[in-house]
Amino acid sequence: MSVLSRAAAPPAVSETAAVIAALLGNLDNAPPATLTWPGQSETALPQPDSDPLTVMTTGVVPLRLLGPAGLGAAGLLLTPPPADEVISGTSASGIGGESTAAARESAARLDPGTSAGSGIPGARSRIPLGPTRIGTVSTRVHALRGTGQVGPGSIVRPARDDPLSGFPGGAMDSGLSRISRNGPDAAPEHTAPRTESGPEAQSPIPALYCPPPIRDDPALAEAVNEGILLWAQSIGLYEGRLDDLRKADFGRLIMLAHPDCDDADRLLAAAKCAVSEWSVDDYYCEEDAANTAPDGSPSSAEAELGPKLEMAAAVMDPVHLPARYQVRLERALQGDPILRAFRTSFEHLAQFATPQQAARLRTEIAGWFIALTAEAGWRAAHRMPPVWEYLANRQPHSFLPCMAPIDAVGGYELGAAEYTDPRVRRVVTTAALAAQMVNDLYSMAREDLSNGREFNLPTVYAAEQQCSRREAILHTAEVHDELMHRFEREAGVLAANGSPELHRFLSGLWAWMGGNRAWHAASRRYNDFT
């Protein structure tokens, strides 16, 4: 019997699984696998020279980049508004409270060949073309939404996310961020949101805006996968289901998601952590979860989810009890294969991660545990959450724990000050939520067989809007693409002014999202559901 009836949502149809399985194979809308960050050589279009200071002070839209020269740079090319029109607390880059020192430093990196001169005849009256690589089209500012072009002296305010509408500037922007098929000279257009009419209606679903993987090394993936199987067998994890674990091919996921690491042992450490996390879902949250408490006494799976997650936390961040109680705790920890998995995976990762990196991973997993208990509350209350609540839950209940050790696997360390900076945190959680939307789409067919125990955005949206399953899938794809464009836009600003480690970590997030998509497209864990 189902624990949670989702009668409000339209039932799944047989074509749903095929539609979802085919989605990742369409790379028509995929950006490059590798981002072009500030500092990398670019093939910039010829542009007339202009005096940066003169142009900025006279209100003419500059024709040469006045800031960082890479990903997201076009989003910075905003004509400064007059003093009485400045939005309080918002810098020219659109990030509130950002210091202007970074902008001055960026201006110093201009081409030394820049010559004076302003008001160039025949200059285009819109935002300049700027860089021509990944991210430049999605960052073009559409002047005065719904109007024509930006003329000299026009004021373009930085777009800020409206927390009430959920979209930049209070309008639906996810459909406006498509890369133009007509090349960089094409004027930016307002692209309508995804609809079910027109050419896109002929395909099962519009192509996602997500990069392909940087590398595909089947031999390395197989080595990691074999290591996972040997480890799982040694601790009794997935006992009797090792063939399912092999089919899931987590070794391939880790190989695809961490292209900056060729060390199979490092990749295996990350893979063990990922499998430990997935095992929580498979052992504690599925319909056949054990109806016992951590001490082995009879109970119910729903009631014991919290206590079991508490024991997992005690493994990751060891609890030190008085001696006579420590023995009993240790007995309980040794008796559960999930807890053995967390203990041994953290021990392996500690060979490559600093204590600070391990603490970061514990923090992300702890947030995920809280989100798991919230989801259990929905099931217990027979309640379908609204979309906003579901997405708030899915930010921590996402791939954040898998992304947290990107630097440890890569052999470097992103400092805590940068990782916890609110602006960095925003792009990291954006990447994690975007990756979760991929998971929502491709695990949808499997979760439709769970009789209401699992949640995904298409199902939640369909229940809220009373729409078709196809419409809900299209909406989920829009949400994914909006998040991807936000990451691309804002990560470029951070990379331009951050440390080399932050630069590399942000590149690692992009690579992780591309690898995640490729793995979902092929993994039998999500496609072989019959």
Digitized pLDDT (tens) for each residue of the chain, 530 residues in all: 222 222 233 444 445 655 555 555 566 667 777 777 555 433 333 333 333 333 333 333 333 333 444 444 444 444 444 444 333 333 333 333 333 344 344 334 334 344 333 333 333 333 334 444 444 444 443 333 333 333 433 333 333 333 333 333 333 333 323 323 333 333 333 334 444 444 334 445 568 899 999 999 999 999 999 999 999 999 999 999 999 899 889 999 999 999 999 999 999 999 999 999 999 988 888 766 777 777 777 776 677 788 999 999 999 999 999 999 999 999 999 999 999 999 999 999 999 999 999 999 999 999 999 999 999 999 889 899 999 999 999 999 999 999 999 999 999 999 999 999 999 999 999 999 999 999 998 877 555 555 556 789 999 999 999 998 888 988 999 999 999 999 999 999 999 999 999 999 999 999 999 999 999 888 765 555 44
What's the token pair of residue 31? 């950006």
> Distance between CA 319 and CA 325 in Å, rounded?
11
One domain, residues 150 and 243: no
One domain, residues 270 and 148: no
Q: In 3-state terms, what secondary structure has residue 379? A: helix
User: 292 has which bridge partners?
Assistant: 298
1 within a domain of the structure (yes/no): no
Cβ pair 176, 142 in contact under 8 A = yes
**In the block, which residue shows the tokens 């201009």?**
110
One domain, residues 137 and 249: no
One domain, residues 24 and 82: no
What is the pLDDT at residue 45?
30
**In the block, which residue shows the tokens 């879902």?**
281
> Distance between CA 417 and CA 419 in Å, rounded?
6
One domain, residues 242 and 179: no
> Distance between CA 176 and CA 188 in Å, rounded?
9
Distances from the Cα of 187 to the Cα of 124, 125, 130, 190, 410, angstroms: 10, 11, 13, 10, 40
**For the residues of 174-221, what is the DSSP string, one character each?**
GGG-PPPTT-TTSPP--PPPP-SSSGGGGSSSPPP--PPPS---HHHH
One domain, residues 224 and 316: yes
Global confidence as pTM: 0.67
- Three-state SS sequence of 260-327: CCCCHHHHHHHHHHHHHHHHHHHHHHCCCCCCECCCCCECCHHHHHHHHHHHHHHHHCCCCCCHHHHH
User: 90 has which bridge partners?
Assistant: 96
> Distance between CA 291 and CA 144 in Å, rounded?
59
One domain, residues 248 and 307: yes
Give the chain's domain count. 2
Q: What is the Cα Rg of the chain in Å?
A: 25
35 within a domain of the structure (yes/no): no
Distances from the Cα of 368 to the Cα of 254, 278, 313, 371, 396, angstroms: 20, 12, 11, 5, 5
348 within a domain of the structure (yes/no): yes
* Other beta carbons within 10 Å of 500: 11
41 within a domain of the structure (yes/no): no
Which CATH number does the domain housing residue 273 bear?
Answer: 1.10.600.10
Cβ pair 490, 398 in contact under 8 A = no
One domain, residues 353 and 370: yes
38 within a domain of the structure (yes/no): no
One domain, residues 85 and 26: no
What is the pLDDT at residue 201?
42
List the one residue out of 173, 198, 203, 168 whose CA is nearest residue 188: 173
Which amino acid type is present at position 41? S
What is the pLDDT at residue 273?
98
> Distance between CA 185 and CA 450 in Å, rounded?
49
One domain, residues 432 and 298: yes
What is the pLDDT at residue 74?
42
The range of the structural domain enclosing residue 321 comes to: 15-30+207-527
One domain, residues 124 and 23: no
What is the pLDDT at residue 115?
39
